Structure 1
């Protein structure tokens, strides 16, 4: 260990700083090509020769050799069934360095990774679904898509939630929270991730944790001015309240927002599945009937016949009672 390195270590204030000094020193001993490949390898959760070639197209001809050389480095380990990965501690240090010191390069590598895993996922669709590849694709997309106007995450999370695929949904949320914790994600994406994090927690009956996630989502939606997102989250918070009166207040607040933005579908859904049900539990039968009749009128305007049929059946039940 040379004198300069020892001096740097002596001046370091934290264990993380000391770890980075050692890591950077090791990286500086590598050839430019191998060091470049090592930084690229740190961006995804796992890598192989094909991934390296996609992330470093300028080194494509050397990707197989570089992949072999990377496996000899002390911070690279086998990733069962998929190739290899950079050890978590070293990987996090390298990503932090790239993000703060070479952000354009980080974003370029992330864009290439998103494109690679998207293409890989599309190729696999005709054979079998690969949740790990879908999650990895969104892990990179959430960083490069700063406006977050696409529905990619929402569609996949909704699909897994609706089909009770709890393990996949939890894995997706946990993976995306890595990027959020590292402060590499724009607010619109944070809101959606925390919204579905609430759903994931509720699926495993962790109500308190679900409420924490929804409250975080609510704050992010309000920051972005998304009244639809705010309304949807208010409903989720409302239906988790033990106090029915408080739950009703949340659902009615959501209903006001749906009305303001002219979302008749969500107004009808709210009245049928949430507001009227809470009113019935509170013994406020007339108000529940009014809510269901209003829901039917809105559903016919959409039109959405399923809501009409369900609300009509519910009215019959109430009249029998």
Structure 2
């Protein structure tokens, strides 16, 4: 396997260096740049003189960084006609990004070469999805929204939230993930702590190099959400009030229980003293009656 790969590499450079022609050294340094969106078709051209016999021309294509020539398949098609050869990249993805070169030869002589065409593939973050998120835990937030982008490329982006057209500055969190294809996804969460009203419009807006106009998604507050927020508020208040009532009830119970014990103890002490006093009084009276 290693020997086969080495022989192919030697063949690759032999084609490029035939007749002392070095494409990397003598090609036009001005590379043509093509910025496209994922899913489109891209065509690269390899020019040569119009008067050449097409049946005797061999054209070789390769991508910068690879040491093998491109082969025709379901994603790449080759064509040739008077004046040039063409490489057709079909339904391009980010994986097709790179700089493509070519050389045309006739009878071992270089008759044409490309200056290099750099293909840059962008993937837009649209469509956006925005949904309302409910939480079972009590929270001061009156509304929770989540905005999710589609997979996009490159990584850089700007995401903002707006309420009735005014940008929101707080209560926002972003989470960026990488997909298995090397693309990026963003999940942005908004927690609204101010009171909400039916008909309020919340907008998630994403700026990305792939789009001239930012991608947007809107959420209009329905009446049900307002009622739910108000109901949740009363539930939280009721729970707090019930807790306070229970605490006060326990305190009052123990206070009253302590007072009852003190009263009973005092009553017992009073009862035990009365016989002693009566006995002393009876003894004193009897003594006085016995005196002459």
**TM-score range for the pair, normalised by the shorter chain length:** under 0.3
Q: Provide the TM-score with structure 1 as the length reference.
A: 0.24
Give 1 or 2 for the bigger CA radius of gyration: 2
Higher relative contact order (CA 8 A, sep 6+): 2
Decide which structure has greater helix share: 1
